[in-house]
Amino acid sequence: VVDLTAPYVSGFLAFEVPFLVEAVQLRAKEPGLLPQVLLVDGNGLLHHRGFGVACHLGVLIDLPCIGVAKKLLQVDGLEKNDLHKEKVQLLQAGGDTFPLVGDSGIVLGVALKSHDHSTNPLYISVGHKISLETAVRLTRACCRFRIPEPVRQADIRSREYIRRTLELASPPALGRERIQKVKRPEVCPQRYSGEPASEGRPPEDHSPGPGADLDAP
DNA sequence: TTCATAACTGAAGCCGTACC
DNA sequence: GGTACGGCTTCAGTTATGAA
């Protein structure tokens, strides 16, 4: 469990990146546990500034990262409007996709029907050192259900941990009551000491770097 | 025209419910 | 029993409305 010092703001998930980096580095200390690729519950290039949490994390740990969002972040003219819903309905089987093209003409990501029986798609975007095509293929391969297994397991296990921790902290009082959301600090705390990378500006080149070998067959 | 207030928007977490 | 999904919640920012 970590203590966030910044309030939650949509599109500012990058404030959580230091803790994610720490988690990955802890894993890396044990032989064979350093991940080859990370699926991040958030967005990569599909972001207000073109540099979401998946990009931040990927750059800092220098590993391929994929942004996997469950809801559409409405940026660059992308909207969950009738046209979008129409496109979603046209996705027939698991693995079907359509590109998310912003007003700027840039392909920001892909909507992926991850499972035959799911109605809502996943929104895949490039984070770091990986092509969009490979990101989609890899995400699809991880989908036993709608949510990719790594993201799903992280969600399930974290909830389980929180539930157990809270029960241990105050067993009778909490009981089965709804877990109250942690109240945000009233005053915005001092800015995180680590300066946000390049003021959220996207990198000049979105293509995977020379070190990326994930696109190799 | 300016100010105050209300209503609305957006993303994500949590929970209840329907479904397989 | 396990899963997906919709609805409700949070708060800050934006927009609309009405009063002075």
Nucleotide of closest approach to A52 (CA, C1'): B11
Q: For residues A35 and A135, give the distance between their C-alpha atoms in angstroms, rounded to a whole number.
A: 15
Tens-digit pLDDT profile for residues A115-162: 766 667 778 888 888 888 888 888 877 776 677 777 776 666 665 555
**C9 C1' closest Cα residue:** A181
Kindly list the domain boundaries of chain A, sorted by start residue. Answer: 13-172+190-200
Q: What is the pLDDT of residue A194?
A: 33
Å from the A217 CA to the C9 C1': 45
Quick one: average pLDDT of A63-72? Answer: 81
Å from the A111 CA to the B15 C1': 27
Does the pLDDT of residue A60 top 70, yes or no?
A: yes
Q: What's the predicted TM-score (pTM) here?
A: 0.69
**C2 C1' closest Cα residue:** A145
CB A18: neighbour CB atoms within 10 A? 18
Pairing of strands A107-112, A97-101: antiparallel
Q: For residues A203 and A215, give the distance between their C-alpha atoms in angstroms, rounded to a whole number.
A: 20
Q: Which nucleotides of B are covered by protein (CB under 7 A)?
A: 10-16, 20
Q: Choose the CATH number for A13-172+190-200 among 3.30.2170.10, 3.30.470.20, 3.30.830.10, 3.30.70.890.
A: 3.30.2170.10
Average the pLDDT over each of A59-73, A91-105, A184-198 and give the range with the smallest value: A184-198
Q: With both helix axes pointing from N to C terminus, report the angle between A17-28 and A53-61 in degrees, rounded to the nearest 10.
A: 40
